[in-house]
Every structure is written in C-alpha cells, then in structure tokens.
Chain A
C-alpha cells in the first residue's frame, strides 16, 4: 500500500483526489481530537487540519491542550498533548464538548482521552505504539486493542509508524527521522476521510522546512501515504463531507486569539499614528503576543524583552511618557509583579495597555490551561484606590477589536487599561471576517503644545483636565515651555506639584475614580430571540462560546433564555443594572469562584446565581445546557 502511495506521490505534485468509490456521509458538524505524546507534533497536526477546514470554508473552533512541560516523560499521561477541532457547515461557537473522532498516537493518549469520546465514536490508533512497555507506562494491564474495553467504539487500528517508515524507505531518511513524520500520515488519513483540500498543507510543509528540503519532501510523502492508505485499504468504508458554512459574506482567514491580539496592537499603532513599544517578559500563555509583534517592526513596533515583568511594564510606561503607545503583556503572575507600575500609571495618568492572558492559578498554577480568575486582581490588585478600565475579548477573533478598544480608552482617558484575555481564546482559533482597514476607528491623539495654566501665568499645569473626559494633557519631553515633573507622590490638582494636603488627596482620589467611572462604553446587548425569557445568562470573556452554544440548545428545546455578554468589565455598561433588573433570574457562569457575581451583587444589590468551574478547561456546552435547563425548570415551576 505504502509503496504504491510512495510511487504515485513521487510521480507528480497534483492535488490528491479520491478515486475508490466509498460511501459519503454528509454531516453538519464534526469534532476531531488529535492526541499523542508532547513530541509527536499533535499541535502542528491539529493546526494544519484546522487550516484545511478553514480553506474549505467551514466554520471552526479549536482547543489546543498541552502540558507545561516541553517534553514530559515519553509515553506517560502527563506527557499527552492534544488538539481538538470542531468544524461545521453553520456558525459554531465552541471547539466542541466531545470528540466524534479520536486519533490516539499511543496508549497514554488513548487512556487520557477515551473517556471524552461518546459511545459509537470513532477511534483511530497507531498500533505500533501499543507494545508492552508503553502499555505498562500507563498501567494498562491488558492491551485495550485486544480486550473488549473499546467495544463501544468504532476502532481503526493503523500501524502508522511502520507505514510511514515504509513510505519513506527510499528517501534515505534514517528510521527514527522517518518515524517522526507519522503525524503527517495521520493528517493525510484524516484529510482523506473528511475530503479536505491538501494543497495548503503541502505548500505549508515545503515552506516550513524550506531549509531542509529532504525533510519537507519526507513530510509531504508521509502526508500522501496517509491519504492513499485511506483511499486504498478499504479499512475505512465511509468518508464524510461537511459543506462550507453559510457565514456572512466577506473574506475570511483563520486566526488565533494571541495573533489577533498582536494584530490589534499593530492596528492600534497605525490608527493612533504612534510608535509602539511592547515591554514584556516571556510567560505562558502570553509569549506568542511578543513573538508575533517582534515580526512587525516595519509597522514602527519595538519589542523589548525585559529582564523581568516589572522592567517590561516600566519600559512601556517610560515609552508612554515619551509619547509612544506603551504596551505590556503577561499572564496572572506577571500582573502581580506589575501592580506597582500600574499604580504609577494611574497616578501619573499616562496611557498604557496591560495585557493579561489569564491561566489557571494561584501562583504558577496551570500555565497552559485556562481560567478567568484574575478579574478581581485586575479590579483591586493594587495598593490604594487605584481604578483602571478593564476589557475582555469574547472570542479569538474579538481579541483584535478588544486591543483597539483598550487602546482607545487608554489614549482618550490617559490611563492604564487592563485587557483580560485567557488561555482558551489566546490559543483557540476561529474564522475571522477580515476587516477593511478603512473602517477601523481613528485613534489619533493630540499632544500638548502650549502652556495651559488657567491663571494666564504662562506656566504648564500637567494635571489640568479635559472637563469631559477628565483626562490630563499629554505633554511630551522635548516640548519647549512645558517642562514639568510627575511621579508617584500625590499630586496637587491642576499644578501637579507634590501635595500632602488632605482635601487635595480626597479630591484627587475621587477624580481618578470619576475618570474611570466616566469612560464611555457601549450598552450591553441582550440576545432574547423570543422576547419572553425570564432567565438571563450573563458571561464575560471566553465563556461566550459555550454559553451561546448552550443557550441555542436550550432554545431548541422550546425553552426561552436570554443571553448577554460583557466585553467591558470596568466600567460596566450603563444599562447593565436595568438589564439585570428586568429578568426574574440571572445566572453568571465563570471559570473562577464567582468573581463577576460578587461584583454585580455588590454594585447592583441584586441576586445572582453563580455557576462556576475551575478545571483549567473551558465549559462544555452540554454542561451549561444541563445547568440552564435545570434553572429554567425551577424558575418556571415557581
């Protein structure tokens, strides 16, 4: 089999096409999970499969899930890395709860993931890895492929390592190197099963390994071998088609949250016509923002990899003082370290965008897993009364818009702004309707050029405010006649000199609060299709997808439910109190122990049902569906 695949692959580079008549099943949606050892290339495999789905025009959502260890002990459960992709012919909201198809590259991957596969699901295993030693590593007493433990599933046993090595026998590549291409074999097989376009993957491999053409060709060969294996073996009687999704008109691309966030910062620099300085320290899961921005120096972006988190934000604030768009990016532990500098930004009233890609906590916590437990840290995690505006993206693509929004607020109000992304949106991906840059908001700023003292003295008062926004003027070093000193000590209103005056402090604390409270944010919109819902589900951040998917399912059962989602956490939308009051029951699902619920109860004196989970993984739609259904039954019964 593999020989013929090899032969025909070598014959030309035409796109692969299936010739054997197989039964074609049309599906609306499918969830596929690739699972293997950390070193097996599962993230790359999943990513490529996603790109194929995107190129085909499906709607999609992804969930990478990997350990913090770069290479945990081989073949063990902690070393399992997986990538789940959900694609459909309609607009979907989540990466899917349970995989319809599990590709397990070794016993550990099977053991760690089989519990998520619904009965009747498809399991494709690489039998070559199911030797005694690997089985023992994960405490399989007998080979699950030989006992009846997998009888509830449709199991396909494929000797992927052997077949890959066979396909690459003539390439001159060593056995070990050849075996490493088995992930592309798996990708080829799945690509055949789901009628995916293949040109993109082949082009990608040739570009990725441009400096090692023999490796590129080996991967292409393995990919094709997988495809031909599916086509010729008859082991797989059925293939599946998922038609392109009917999304709104326009041109799309696939994008992850961290890439969208980085592009948002690039766009913010362009739209504000300011140079950008990103001061940062590498930290999971935020580092990709640094990696991406460091590639775009041609947009006037400087990336400064600092000696620590504190220096990262310090440099960003120093750049902001000089008139640049200062940005810092981190995850929760880094926010703890940056807190004092955020305070200085609040006191000196300089614009600053502070990105927190949240992970599981506390302390080092779960670096590669998701959580939204930094909301209260963002609100209150500094000394003194130290308010900052807070925004959060709802989806991977929304990271682009939220970066522009954070920048708008920072520049308009001269304040640090906290942007709360999280691991799920940061690493997840979805189709993105590419914006026309001519429609992006104008973020241009005006710097102070003339002394502004209201007493006509010709002095410059650095803390003189715009009466509408309460923002102070941005007077840059280098501007003649506006020399002034700022700093962390309390400032006299207007003149900005050090002041220990009790009344002045009272006034300044309240002014800083009033400035943040007065940030203009859009009203929250409620999705209540039938208009008669009595229960409102309110979310923020990355829970948007599973909440929305669950709400759809509940509605499909004929039960009305309203959904609203917050992108602005501080200040909260002006209409939120009214919205909360207009429903009999409000439920707030969060990946923390109820932080937003606590804020809402305190601010609106209203009862909130908090539903929380801190498993390091996003909510499942079926889980929320069941929670919402129970609540709706109770509320209706009253």
Chain B
C-alpha cells in the first residue's frame, strides 16, 4: 500500500515541517561555537550561504536538523544553531533515514564530503537515494582528504600525486552526479562554493523537493588541494567551462553564449559551437525527464579535468518517498486494527491450568 494508493496528494519537501511568521536572520542560525576550518576554506562560504538561505524557508529553527559524518565538512552541525549530530564516518545517511522516517515534522539535512559519502559511506548514500528518503544531502567535494591531511579521495583525478600516492593515483574517480543518477536519485544538483546565487537556487529547490536530494558542492581546500576549481572561477575560463542549466531553456554557455549542448548519434550529449550545431538543434534543459539517461548524459559532458561542467539541477522528478510510504503503512495498519497488546500476547492457541 503506497501513499498514492491511499489517495494522498503529492507533497513538497517541507509540507509537514512547522513554519513561523517571525522573520529570521542569518545570525540566528549561527551557534556560539567558533568556526575552526582553515583560513580560506570553501566551507566558510558554504556555511554562510546556508545560514543566509535557511531564514528564507520560514521554518521553525528547532525543526531543522543537520547530521554529518566525519571529515572537515562534517564539523558543519556544530556551527549551526539548529539541532545536529556529528556522527560516524560515512553513516550520516543511515542515521538521517531513521530520524526522517520517524519524524516527518523535521527538515533533515546531511552534510558529507567526497570521502565520507563516496568512499566509506558509499553504500548508505546509494541506498538513501534509491529509497528516496526525504532528506537533503550536501556533498562537499574538494577532491581530497583534508582531515587526514592530504590523501587522494574517490573524486581525485587519475594520476593525482598525494601523500599516499607519491607516484600518482591509479584509481578511476567517481563522478558524483553520475553515481547519484545511477542510484535512482530523484533530485541531483551541482553548484560552486563561490557561487552564492547558484548554490542558493539549487538548495531552495532541494529543500522543497520531497525525497532524497543530493547537491554536489565544489569546494576548495586551500591546504591540500588549493586551486582545484580555479579554472571554474576565473571569469574567462569559467565562461568556456561552466554550463548553467536552466529548465525550459536551450543549454548554452560561453561569454557570448556561443557554445551549446546537442545530442550525439548514440543518445549521448556533447558540446559544440552553436554556429555549427544550429540553434534549433540545441538541447532544451528539462530536469523532469523520467529517464535517468538524460541527466546521466549531461553529467558525462565534462571529464575529470573539469573542461565542461554543467551546474544547476540535473534531475528533479517526483517519486514516492520511503518515509511517507513507511508511515502510511503504519497508519493504515493502526486504522484497520488498533494494536491490542493483550490479544497479541494471548494469540490463538491457549490452554488453561486450573
């Protein structure tokens, strides 16, 4: 029995979370703890963006929970004046699943990194996504291990020379967006730490999405992988590389919009000059396409050297959430036959000793 079977209307991600009419300020979301990331860490910008963004949701602050794993970014909950748990390496999605399933009145956010989410916690990430639990996963990707001081991560580029790979990494990295789509994610987005506007837009859509939403945030580590995303931050370079995704609009980029995305012969997507492709042949972005192949093809346009990087929302589709359905089953069972403990314990076959 599912929510649809029960005739429940489709809902937004925050529909069951209590709201407040009191205007909120970013300051109220700052905890009294001193922020202890390295100077210049991209995490500061993301923290500030989220503290500015949350008041716009108008939720009761006490109904917001941040759950993190282990790693630099996972210190995040300590700096938020909400409820929070700094948990175990890789396991935040599982803890958040238990919380979100039993507490529909909470807005549950998971803060994780490339090591936490894709290495030690890869299993929990993919299963949270396929179940479509109503939680928002912020995946801070700096393509390096920071807290353990500079080993390569599952998103480090091939050949990466680090403390643990003096002759270069021989691992093939994950593309987090491709992975999430392969795991049946219903909402997948990507943004840059430095792009406050773009990040805020993706976060807003993620928050309102009912189900698992994963947002990959490119985040600079100034100590162990400084400049990893510089080519996406330099104005001229960025124009050549960043591909902003706007629903309903043809996918174009470049300083003059001179480049665009078109289909290839075998169902994939590729970039080219609009002049060569022809405006009519540009792909019009539609994140609501049910088939994950489209978002997947978008995620494969770039390569691990960041030469073409779409940002925005790759996929945003409706699918019933695990937690809504699990609660609906409990509710249905309770309505059909309220629990009678004495009857349960007694069962059917008894005998009496006089």
Residues of A in contact with B (beta carbons under 8 Å apart): 51, 54-57, 200, 244-254, 263, 266-267, 270, 275, 277, 279, 296-302, 304, 306-308, 310-312, 314-324, 326, 340-341, 344, 348, 434-437, 477-489, 497-498
- What are the 6 closest A-B residue pairs judged by CB atoms, nearest first? A487-B86, A318-B98, A314-B94, A315-B98, A299-B339, A318-B95
Contact yes or no, A318 B84, CB < 8 A: no
In whole angstroms, how far apart are the Cα atoms of A341 and B89 in the complex?
A: 10
Q: Please, which residues of chain A bring their CB within 8 A of the CB of B123?
A: 307-308, 311
B103, CB-defined interface residue at 8 Å: yes
B167, CB-defined interface residue at 8 Å: no
Q: Report the number of A-B residue pairs with Cβ-Cβ less than 8 Å.
A: 212
From B33, B70, B334, B336, A300 is in contact (CB under 8 Å) with B334
A407 CB, nearest partner CB in chain B, Å: 14
In whole angstroms, how far apart are the Cα atoms of A359 and B322 in the complex?
A: 32
In whole angstroms, how far apart are the Cα atoms of A510 and B339 in the complex?
A: 42
Contact yes or no, B101 A266, CB < 8 A: no
Q: Please, which residues of chain B bring their CB within 8 A of the CB of A316?
A: 98
B174, CB-defined interface residue at 8 Å: no
In whole angstroms, how far apart are the Cα atoms of A319 and B342 in the complex?
A: 26
Contact yes or no, A300 B345, CB < 8 A: no
Known: A307-B123, A344-B87. A270 touches B341 (CB 8 A): yes
From B31, B33, B97, A314 is in contact (CB under 8 Å) with B97
Known: A340-B88, A488-B87. A304 touches B326 (CB 8 A): yes
In the complex, 5 of the A-B residue pairs with CB atoms within 8 angstroms, ordered by the A residue number, are A252-B353, A297-B333, A300-B339, A314-B95, A488-B86
A286 CB, nearest partner CB in chain B, Å: 18
Which of B55-63, B143-151, B214-222, B234-242 touches A? B55-63
From A304, A306, A485, B78 is in contact (CB under 8 Å) with A485
Nearest residue in A to B94 (C-beta to C-beta)?
Answer: A314
Known: A252-B351, A486-B85. A478 touches B346 (CB 8 A): no
Contact yes or no, B350 A253, CB < 8 A: yes
Nearest residue in A to B107 (C-beta to C-beta)?
Answer: A477
Contact yes or no, B62 A251, CB < 8 A: no
In whole angstroms, how far apart are the Cα atoms of A301 and B341 in the complex?
A: 13
16 extra A-B contacts, CB within 8 A, seeds A200-B349, A435-B345, A487-B78: A54-B351, A252-B353, A300-B339, A302-B102, A304-B97, A307-B94, A310-B91, A314-B98, A315-B94, A319-B98, A340-B91, A341-B88, A344-B88, A478-B62, A485-B86, A486-B86
A318 CB, nearest partner CB in chain B, Å: 3
Contact yes or no, B124 A322, CB < 8 A: no
B332 CB, nearest partner CB in chain A, Å: 8
B282, CB-defined interface residue at 8 Å: no
Q: Please, which residues of chain B bring their CB within 8 A of the CB of A498?
A: 33, 78
In whole angstroms, how far apart are the Cα atoms of A247 and B81 in the complex?
A: 60
Contact yes or no, A318 B99, CB < 8 A: yes
Contact yes or no, A487 B334, CB < 8 A: no
Contact yes or no, A318 B96, CB < 8 A: yes
B210 CB, nearest partner CB in chain A, Å: 19
Among A246, A249, A314, A321, find the residue whose CB has the most chain B CB atoms closer than 10 A: A314
Contact yes or no, B353 A483, CB < 8 A: no
Known: A250-B353, A318-B95. A296 touches B88 (CB 8 A): no
From B67, B330, B346, A301 is in contact (CB under 8 Å) with B330
A49 CB, nearest partner CB in chain B, Å: 13
Contact yes or no, A57 B351, CB < 8 A: yes
CB within 8 Å of A: which B87-119 residues: 87-88, 91, 93-103, 105-106
Nearest residue in A to B131 (C-beta to C-beta)?
Answer: A307
Contact yes or no, B62 A314, CB < 8 A: no
A121 CB, nearest partner CB in chain B, Å: 29
Q: Please, which residues of chain B bring their CB within 8 A of the CB of A319?
A: 98-99, 101-102
From B61, B70, B84, A485 is in contact (CB under 8 Å) with B84
Q: Please, which residues of chain B bring their CB within 8 A of the CB of A315?
A: 94-95, 97-98, 101
From A318, A326, A435, A483, B62 is in contact (CB under 8 Å) with A483
Contact yes or no, B94 A306, CB < 8 A: yes
In whole angstroms, how far apart are the Cα atoms of A84 and B106 in the complex?
A: 51
A322 CB, nearest partner CB in chain B, Å: 4
Contact yes or no, A252 B344, CB < 8 A: no
In whole angstroms, how far apart are the Cα atoms of A97 and B168 in the complex?
A: 64
B122 CB, nearest partner CB in chain A, Å: 10
Q: Please, which residues of chain B bring their CB within 8 A of the CB of A481?
A: 62
In whole angstroms, how far apart are the Cα atoms of A263 and B333 in the complex?
A: 17
Contact yes or no, B352 A252, CB < 8 A: yes
Contact yes or no, A321 B91, CB < 8 A: no
In whole angstroms, how far apart are the Cα atoms of A277 and B133 in the complex?
A: 15
In whole angstroms, how far apart are the Cα atoms of A200 and B88 in the complex?
A: 51
In whole angstroms, how far apart are the Cα atoms of A51 and B348 in the complex?
A: 11
Known: A311-B123, A434-B345. A477 touches B106 (CB 8 A): yes
Nearest residue in B to A497 (C-beta to C-beta)?
Answer: B33
Known: A298-B334, A321-B99, A341-B88. A311 touches B94 (CB 8 A): yes
In whole angstroms, how far apart are the Cα atoms of A296 and B63 in the complex?
A: 29
Contact yes or no, A302 B336, CB < 8 A: no
Nearest residue in A to B124 (C-beta to C-beta)?
Answer: A311
In whole angstroms, how far apart are the Cα atoms of A57 and B350 in the complex?
A: 9
Q: Please, which residues of chain B bring their CB within 8 A of the CB of A322?
A: 98-99, 102-103, 106
B280, CB-defined interface residue at 8 Å: no
Q: Please, which residues of chain A bring their CB within 8 A of the CB of B344?
A: 263, 266, 296, 299
CB within 8 Å of A: which B310-335 residues: 326-327, 329-330, 332-334
In whole angstroms, how far apart are the Cα atoms of A121 and B175 in the complex?
A: 69
Contact yes or no, A478 B63, CB < 8 A: yes
B338, CB-defined interface residue at 8 Å: yes
In whole angstroms, how far apart are the Cα atoms of A251 and B106 in the complex?
A: 45
Nearest residue in B to A259 (C-beta to C-beta)?
Answer: B347
A281 CB, nearest partner CB in chain B, Å: 11
Nearest residue in A to B337 (C-beta to C-beta)?
Answer: A298
In whole angstroms, how far apart are the Cα atoms of A123 and B18 in the complex?
A: 70
From B60, B62, B91, B338, A298 is in contact (CB under 8 Å) with B338
Contact yes or no, B95 A317, CB < 8 A: yes
Known: A248-B353, A322-B106. A483 touches B61 (CB 8 A): yes
B44, CB-defined interface residue at 8 Å: no
A338 CB, nearest partner CB in chain B, Å: 11
Contact yes or no, A487 B82, CB < 8 A: no
Contact yes or no, B63 A299, CB < 8 A: no
In whole angstroms, how far apart are the Cα atoms of A299 and B350 in the complex?
A: 22
- Mark each residue of chain B from 248 to 272: 1 if its CB lies under 8 Å from any CB of chain A, else 0: 0000000000000000000000000
